[in-house]
Amino acid sequence: MAEKEKSTIVLFSGELDKAIAAFIIANGAAAYDHEVTIFFTFWGLNTLRKDQQVPVKKGFLEKMFGKMMPRGAERLGLSKMNFAGMGPKMIKHVMKKHNALTLPQLIELAQEQGIKLVACTMTMDLLGLQKEELLDGIEYAGVAAYLGDAADAKVNLFI
Amino acid sequence: MAEKEKSTIVLFSGELDKAIAAFIIANGAAAYDHEVTIFFTFWGLNTLRKDQQVPVKKGFLEKMFGKMMPRGAERLGLSKMNFAGMGPKMIKHVMKKHNALTLPQLIELAQEQGIKLVACTMTMDLLGLQKEELLDGIEYAGVAAYLGDAADAKVNLFI
Amino acid sequence: MAEKEKSTIVLFSGELDKAIAAFIIANGAAAYDHEVTIFFTFWGLNTLRKDQQVPVKKGFLEKMFGKMMPRGAERLGLSKMNFAGMGPKMIKHVMKKHNALTLPQLIELAQEQGIKLVACTMTMDLLGLQKEELLDGIEYAGVAAYLGDAADAKVNLFI
């Protein structure tokens, strides 16, 4: 049996447009039967946050980070033309008009297709994010696990 | 006959400095006889816009996007130190002083070297960009075509 | 004897968080016995600047760039939530609290692990940076050398 092609994406950025690009590429690769891993680190972790507040115990700085960072896929800004939140509204509007999947739908599709969503435990520690605050069904690992996947993969992107 | 090495670049960003970096790497790879594809998506599409206005019929939001986004390689800003347009002027000035190719020249060279410039049709739809508004001699495709190229390539970058 | 796996990173961005991500991935790969190259170009070069001012002769624009760009790893800002420098202080604070290596320590570790740090000579020219201003023990090369490394590597990232 032939082994599956592998692809990995590091999602470092916490912006709506980049997250959409990452999930479109990832879902596309999974549709072509690649084994796909997205490794969420730094601001990319915000994509995985649940949209409701989760009561967890945190230190002061961790609380600050938690408050200042967007809570989940619905709340991300744009890397360009954010215009205090008007840009994301426009993008979401045109995406709806074109029947494009929203980011939460793209994430759901990714999970259905078996794409491995991995939260970087080191940056979770740094930003004070706890497992309870992130989506269910994701994995937790460090850079070593990412490198293990990437070394076997054909397509490796940093977004 | 040995097959050519392949390289792909996704140009997602719409900034002068990143576009220059993308085209320098792409032209370098083509000079080493790689088969190179640049896949322009989201803000990266602005690199391919013609610098004159093209009369096409658009909806309101698409017109807004069209007006707000830079029209072509000459009008892109910098990712750092843009200073309301002074940064790009400085960069262009030092590039001229050092006889470095300008972005429009780098694009021309890319086309002469047979680099495949591909506009992402899905984001063209979203941003309301039409073929008439983009440079001649480019190709149009979706993420599936990009993944097909990337799976065969040694060097795949997301810029 | 089996050949070593190779990895390359282009560090284009000049932000603390992205530089930290680049060096964590690079040091991780080196720990797994990859041969790693980081190619510093554009704003990424600022990571390699010595933190003291070095007296070198420069033209006016080069002096301007030199003054406006951050001098070294200690002075980089964040790509998100920079808040006029408060963000980097917060990140440095939490990194210290978690006993994470600082960026200067990550750079030192990279040099100890034999990671090749290569400054892009073309963008050094453009930004007016001279060898005396950059850290000792680094290499100097152009895009051709980078492509030579990347074509042999499994993991190639653009950060």
Domain span including residue C76 = 13-31+46-140
CA A11 – CA A3 distance, rounded (Å): 25
- Alpha-carbon distances of A1 from A4, A100, A115, A153, rounded to whole Å: 9, 35, 21, 18
| CATH classification at residue B134 | 3.40.1260.10
pLDDT tens, residue by residue, B62-107: 888 888 889 999 889 888 777 667 778 888 888 888 888 999 999 9
CB-CB neighbors (< 8 A) of C31 in chain A: 144
CA B5 – CA B28 distance, rounded (Å): 13
Residue A4 lies in a domain: no
Residue C53 lies in a domain: yes
> Considering its fold, how many domains does chain A have in total?
1
Interchain contact A25–B (C-beta under 8 A): yes
CA-based torsion, B29, B31, B32, B38: positive or negative: positive
Q: Could you report the predicted ipTM of this complex, rounded to two decimals?
A: 0.91
Interchain contact A147–C (C-beta under 8 A): yes
Give C60 or A11, the one with higher predicted confidence. A11
Q: Does the pLDDT of residue B146 top 90, yes or no?
A: yes
CB-CB neighbors (< 8 A) of C147 in chain B: 25, 28-29, 32, 34, 155
CB-CB neighbors (< 8 A) of A151 in chain B: none
Residue B1 lies in a domain: no
Query: Rounded to the nearest 5°, which phi and psi values hold at B102?
Result: -75, 170
CA C4 – CA A146 distance, rounded (Å): 18
Interchain contact B61–A (C-beta under 8 A): yes
Q: What is the mean pLDDT of chain A?
A: 91
Residue A114 lies in a domain: yes
Q: Percentage of residues in chain C with pLDDT exceeding 90?
A: 65
Residue A8 lies in a domain: no
Interchain contact A81–B (C-beta under 8 A): yes
Q: Which tokens belong to A38?
A: 């997205």
pLDDT tens, residue by residue, C85-120: 777 888 888 888 888 899 999 999 999 999 999 999
* Position C60 confidence tier, pLDDT thresholds 50, 70, 90: confident
Task: Give which of C43, C46, C24 is closest to C135, Cα–Cα.
Answer: C46
Q: What is the DSSP string of B92-151?
A: HHHHHHTTPPPHHHHHHHHHHTT-EEEEEHHHHHHHT--GGGBPTT-EEE-HHHHHHHHH
Nearest to B42 among A21, A97, A98 (CB): A21
Closest CA in chain A for residue C34: A151
Q: Does the pLDDT of residue C125 top 70, yes or no?
A: yes
Residue A101 burial by CB count (10 A; 0-12/13-18/19+): exposed, middle or buried?
A: middle
Residue C107 lies in a domain: yes
pLDDT tens, residue by residue, A80-134: 777 667 778 888 888 888 888 999 999 999 999 999 999 999 999 999 999 999 9
Three-state SS for A135? coil
CB-CB neighbors (< 8 A) of B98 in chain C: 125-126
pLDDT tens, residue by residue, B10-64: 999 999 999 999 999 999 999 999 999 999 999 999 999 998 888 888 888 788 8
Task: Give which of C147, C152, C3 is closest to B28, Cα–Cα.
Answer: C147
Q: Does the pLDDT of residue C136 top 80, yes or no?
A: yes
Residue A17 lies in a domain: yes
Q: Percentage of residues in chain B with pLDDT exceeding 70?
A: 97
Residue C99 lies in a domain: yes
Q: Which tokens belong to A58?
A: 């945190």
Q: Does the pLDDT of residue A44 top 60, yes or no?
A: yes
Residues A17, B65: C-beta atoms closer than 8 Å: no
Interchain contact C26–A (C-beta under 8 A): no
